[in-house]
Amino acid sequence: MGKKGIQFILGFVLAFGLGYLIYQGMGSEVAEVVEPQVTEPAPVSATTEPAATTAETEVLVQKGCLACHAVSGLGLDGGVTGPDLSQAYMNVADKHGVPLDEFLKAPTSAVMSSVLGSNPLTDEERQALIEALQKASGH
Ligand code: HEC
């Protein structure tokens, strides 16, 4: 590499370094201004709950779905009686002949029919489940 090349790289590194330092300086100024306003402590999740438990996934816990299903897409462990629900959002239509929404209203599987028959879902619960499973599937 010629002298020009080295000069170019040095110049680049210097410019970059300077820019970074200035940026850092600005960053700390901004942080000083913002910090005092952050008074609420970050919510500490209870250690007994799975890491991914949010309002969205709570319904899976509440309705007992995790007794038989894991949802690995959301980091939720569960029973192995039923399949992992991570891809249910995508594959229920193929596997059970109806879209997830319909399946959760009137399951075409005998097991789920009796699970939901004795403990039907409200519209909100069904919606929350669909959103959670959509998230789990990454779609
Ligand atoms: C008693 C155990 C049990 C519980 C509780 C249970 N399931 Fe299931 N579920 C199963 C079994 C077993 C299957 C597989 C049925 C089949 O393939 O015919 C299944 C299938 C499914 C499917 C289809 C997925 C697929 O890949 O075939 C969905 C979606 C589903 N369950 C959702 C739920 C939801 C939501 C809840 C909570 C409201 C729930 N299940 C609670 C046992 C259970």
**Confidence band for 123, pLDDT divided at 50, 70 and 90:** very high
Same domain, 31 and 60: no
Same domain, 117 and 64: yes
Q: Is the model's pLDDT at 71 over the cut of 80?
A: yes
- In short, whether 64's Cβ falls inside 6 Å of ligand 1 is yes
Same domain, 63 and 120: yes
- In short, whether 83's Cβ falls inside 6 Å of ligand 1 is yes
**In the block, residue with structure tokens 């209870």:** 46
**Confidence band for 47, pLDDT divided at 50, 70 and 90:** very low
Query: How far apart, in Å, are the Cα atoms of 39 and each of 42, 43, 74, 77?
Result: 9, 12, 30, 34
- pTM to 2 decimal places: 0.70
Q: Is the model's pLDDT at 24 over the cut of 50?
A: yes
Residue 50 lies in a domain: no
> Can you tell me the distance from the alpha carbon of 134 to that of 120, in angstroms, rounded to the nearest whole number?
20
Same domain, 73 and 33: no
Phi, psi angle pair for 118, to nearest 5°: -90, -10
User: Which of 60, 66, 68 has most ligand 1 atoms within 8 Å of CB, for mutation?
Assistant: 68
